Amino acid sequence: MENYNDTQQERPKLNPFLSVWLHPKQTARYMIDEKTIGYAILILSIGYIGSLLSGLIDQEFIPDFSPWVLALLCVIFAPIAGIIGTGFSALLAWLFGKLFKGTGTFSDLFRSLSLTTIPFIVLIPFYIIWLITSPESLLDANFIGPFPWIFWPTMLVTIVVSIWSFVISVGAVAEAHQISNWMAFFTIFIPSIILFVIFFVLFFIIMIGIIGIGMM
């Protein structure tokens, strides 16, 4: 397993916004050893702007705000959503990493997993353009008109960014816990499956309850 526990004198200075794309493990180690929680919050605050903007797809229940207001709200709530989302992910990775004898702390996981939001920064201009030029096609799940030119490149970039963010998360967990990539994969995969099953069961119970009430 490749790791980057070299000394501070030997370790080069990195720009996490650039290095994480090709060297996720090295960048994760740099974040853990050299950067503060505050710096991690800065990263995820920017990255979650793109994440929240991409989450606007088919969200027709959103109040009738202007596109600029929606974009501003994404900027305002990005730090809050980022801290909660990354904190929850770090907690799960910290707990389930213990199954594979991981040694990372919650702080290590939080700082390293903040890197997974960097790819979403790329989405910001795509969704801003889409939101401004054709908000109805972005927000309305029942939209049947022609999609704007920005639709296909945005979808392509979103898929690539999502995949690469997951790749970074595996490397970040592996480096923080000092475990193999496969162990890091299952550290992420196992709680995801458990949460999916829990939410599916809850959804099923709620649906049965709604049907039962409707038949009364």
Supply the Cα-derived Rg of the chain in whole angstroms: 20
Q: Which pTM does this prediction carry?
A: 0.85
Q: Is residue 7 part of a domain?
A: no
At 187 the three-state DSSP class reads helix
Q: Is residue 90 part of a domain?
A: yes
The whole-number pLDDT of residue 60 equals: 63
Cα 128 from chain centroid? 18
Tell me: the pLDDT tens digits for 164-192?
Answer: 999 999 999 999 999 999 999 999 999 98
Structural domain harbouring 114:
16-214
The pLDDT-based confidence of 7 (bands split at 50, 70, 90) is very low
Q: Is residue 4 part of a domain?
A: no
Contact 71, 128 (CB under 8 A): yes
Tell me: the pLDDT tens digits for 55-80?
Answer: 988 776 666 778 888 899 999 999 99
CB atoms within 10 A of CB 154: 22
Span between the terminal Cα atoms of the chain, in Å: 61
Total domains, the chain:
1
Residue 4 has pLDDT above 90, yes or no: no
Q: Is residue 5 part of a domain?
A: no
Cα 97 from chain centroid? 19
Q: How deeply is 166 buried, as exposed, middle or buried, from its count of CB atoms within 10 A (0-12, 13-18, 19+)? A: middle
Q: Is residue 167 part of a domain?
A: yes
Q: What number is the average pLDDT over the span 18-29?
A: 95
Q: Which helix (H) or strand (E) holds 197?
A: helix 181-214
Q: Is residue 196 part of a domain?
A: yes
- Beta strands (DSSP E) in the chain are none
Q: Measuring CA to CA, how many Å separate 16 from each of 10, 34, 134?
A: 17, 11, 33
Contact 19, 27 (CB under 8 A): yes
Contact 180, 107 (CB under 8 A): no
The whole-number pLDDT of residue 67 equals: 85
Q: Is residue 11 part of a domain?
A: no
The whole-number pLDDT of residue 140 equals: 81
The pLDDT-based confidence of 147 (bands split at 50, 70, 90) is confident
CA angle at residue 29 from 25 to 35, to 5 degrees? 135
Instruction: Give 32-37's long-range contacts (Cβ < 8 A, gap of 24+).
Output: 32/108, 32/111, 32/112, 32/175, 32/176, 33/8, 34/8, 35/111, 37/107, 37/110, 37/111
